[in-house]
Chain A
Amino acid sequence: MKRVVAYTGNEVAAEAMRQIEPDVVAAYPITPATEVVQAFSGFVSDGLIQTEMMTVESEHSAMSACVGAAAAGGRAMTVTAANGLALMWEILYCASGNRLPIAMTVVNRAMSAPINIHCDHSDSMGARDSGWIQIYSENAQEAYDNLIMALPIAEDKNVLLPIMVCFDGFIISHSIERVELLEDKEVKDFVGEYKPQFALLDLEHPKTFGPLDLQDYYIEHKRQQHEAMKFVPDAVLASAKRFEALSGRKYGLIETYKLDDADVAIVVLNSAAGSTRAVVDKMREQGIKAGLLKIRMFRPFPAELIAQSLAHCKAIAVLDRCDSFGAQGGPVAHEVRSAICNLPKVPKVIQSVYGLGGRDLNIEDIVDVFGDLKKVADTGKVEKVFDYITVRS
């Protein structure tokens, strides 16, 4: 039986973690993710769950404790945002390099300085090369669903990689939405009992984690991580299929909206997809064949699928809530561009950075992007490849 609640993104993330009941949660609170840790530690103190809650002194310690717990053979989870994620940096690579399937919620927030607690994607995008799987969520429902689907992906025997589930700070983390929750037992059965393949506490099979690995083997181990990523799309789809049977909600690697016959399309991830969907309808009313491609799985990047899905478009705009300063566009734009560059007929591309530090992406802004795309589609010329939008000049 499904339970319908009015919860914030943070509340549903905490609820998902309660239902999963991992062996260990080690976390340090940081805005806008604090509520997740607060609510979850409440569940532990109230005796609702048996999770070992470790209140550590920093995010570096939080991720280190997760690495220790996961290497011991436990299921470990944590939550962070922005500067907290940055403080975990060193250990993010230890988690992926040691092949530990830790699951972490990242509530996307701008990086200091100047200090800002609001949404952008500079935090998780900065970690895109750290060997973690990255799943992005449009709204609170997706944040909940993605978190429940995460562990079976990370723990897949061919994968064994850590996973980040991202959603937008404040826009989603602090907004109340209607969310459908699963029963506790349904979630428990879905994630199943964790049987680690390699565990330090498996005393019958003593082993060493994290030894020195020099010129003679390091690159072989990195090549293995590269290979493990190739198994992720199948694991994501398998998890989504089981989840659909349970919830009725369908998930893929990407989501498209009115893209099949679109001349112009916007590529975006997280909450901006919601507003873009509404603008697509508006454009269609005006006779513009507009479409949307929302990226759900950013790491590994589903390049082929994205290229196929955009192949027929005349012009596309990739909107990044993150800049790669000095580069020629944000990280999503770079990935999309390299995904489509070998298509027989490459769509024209506009790359825009928007919404840094929580600046709103309004309906009019998206209407303008479609206006620019229409011009590019009609003339075949891109006047400005890369620019900021939602910024005062």
Chain B
Amino acid sequence: MSEKLPGWKDIPIGGMILEAGNAAKYETGTWRSSKPIWDPDKCIHCLQCWIYCPDSSIQVKNEKMTGIDYFHCKGCGLCASVCPDKVQAITMVIEET
């Protein structure tokens, strides 16, 4: 891995990040041990999951939930736990390798 990364002469000093928003390029989905599975048929689009997701991984279009961004989702399970009890549109399943 270290062969591909730039050396000390080629990176900004002091650990500074000079490009705004480049965390989007960083894949955190590989950290997941369980995966949220969304059932569009059950979903009532209350967007509680969108509010609580710490990784901005709930995808929304025109105020409707459209899916989950698995490139960034770390599998914390918050979305499943805040999805209303009567709805339960998100289930956490163990991640298979």
B2/A213 in contact, CB under 8 A? no
**Could you write out 6 A-B pairs with CB less than 8 Å apart?**
A100-B14, A198-B16, A207-B17, A209-B14, A211-B15, A223-B8
A221/B8 in contact, CB under 8 A? yes
**Taking the nearest CB of chain A, how far is it from the CB of B96, in angstroms?**
28
**Residue B46 at the chain A interface, CB threshold 8 Å:** no
A208/B16 in contact, CB under 8 A? yes
Tell which of A211, A221, A227 has the most Cβ of chain B within 10 Å. A221
Closest to A200 in B: B16
> Which residue from A160, A221, A227, A228 sits with its C-beta under 8 Å from B15?
A221
> Which residue from A99, A205, A227 sits with its C-beta under 8 Å from B8?
A227
Scan residues 321-358 of chain A and give those whose CB is less than 8 A from a CB of chain B.
none
Tell which of B2, B15, B18 has the most Cβ of chain A within 10 Å. B15
Alpha-carbon distance between A227 and B95 when the two chains are bound, in angstroms: 45
For A210, list chain B residues within 8 Å (CB).
15
A224 and B8 contact, Cβ closer than 8 Å, known pairs A216-B1, A216-B2: yes
For A221, list chain B residues within 8 Å (CB).
8, 11, 13-15
A160 and B13 contact, Cβ closer than 8 Å, known pairs A223-B8, A227-B8: yes
For B87, list chain A residues within 8 Å (CB).
none
> Which residue from B1, B16, B20 sits with its C-beta under 8 Å from A209?
B16
Scan residues 1-51 of chain B and give those whose CB is less than 8 A from a CB of chain A.
1-2, 5, 7-8, 11, 13-20
Closest to A160 in B: B13
**Taking the nearest CB of chain A, how far is it from the CB of B16, in angstroms?**
6
Closest to B7 in A: A220
A99/B18 in contact, CB under 8 A? no
Closest to B19 in A: A207
For B8, list chain A residues within 8 Å (CB).
220-221, 223-224, 227
**Taking the nearest CB of chain B, how far is it from the CB of A131, in angstroms?**
11
> Which residue from B14, B17, B18 sits with its C-beta under 8 Å from A98?
B14
For B1, list chain A residues within 8 Å (CB).
216
For A209, list chain B residues within 8 Å (CB).
14-16
For A207, list chain B residues within 8 Å (CB).
16-20
**Taking the nearest CB of chain A, how far is it from the CB of B7, in angstroms?**
7
**Residue A287 at the chain B interface, CB threshold 8 Å:** no
Alpha-carbon distance between A24 and B34 when the two chains are bound, in angstroms: 49
Alpha-carbon distance between A223 and B11 when the two chains are bound, in angstroms: 11
For B2, list chain A residues within 8 Å (CB).
216
A98 and B15 contact, Cβ closer than 8 Å, known pairs A206-B20, A207-B20: yes
**Residue A68 at the chain B interface, CB threshold 8 Å:** no
For B16, list chain A residues within 8 Å (CB).
98-99, 198, 207-209
**Residue A97 at the chain B interface, CB threshold 8 Å:** yes
B13/A99 in contact, CB under 8 A? yes
Alpha-carbon distance between A99 and B12 when the two chains are bound, in angstroms: 11
For B18, list chain A residues within 8 Å (CB).
198, 205, 207
**Taking the nearest CB of chain B, how far is it from the CB of A126, in angstroms?**
23
> Which residue from A97, A205, A216, A223 sits with its C-beta under 8 Å from B14?
A97
Alpha-carbon distance between A97 and B12 when the two chains are bound, in angstroms: 12
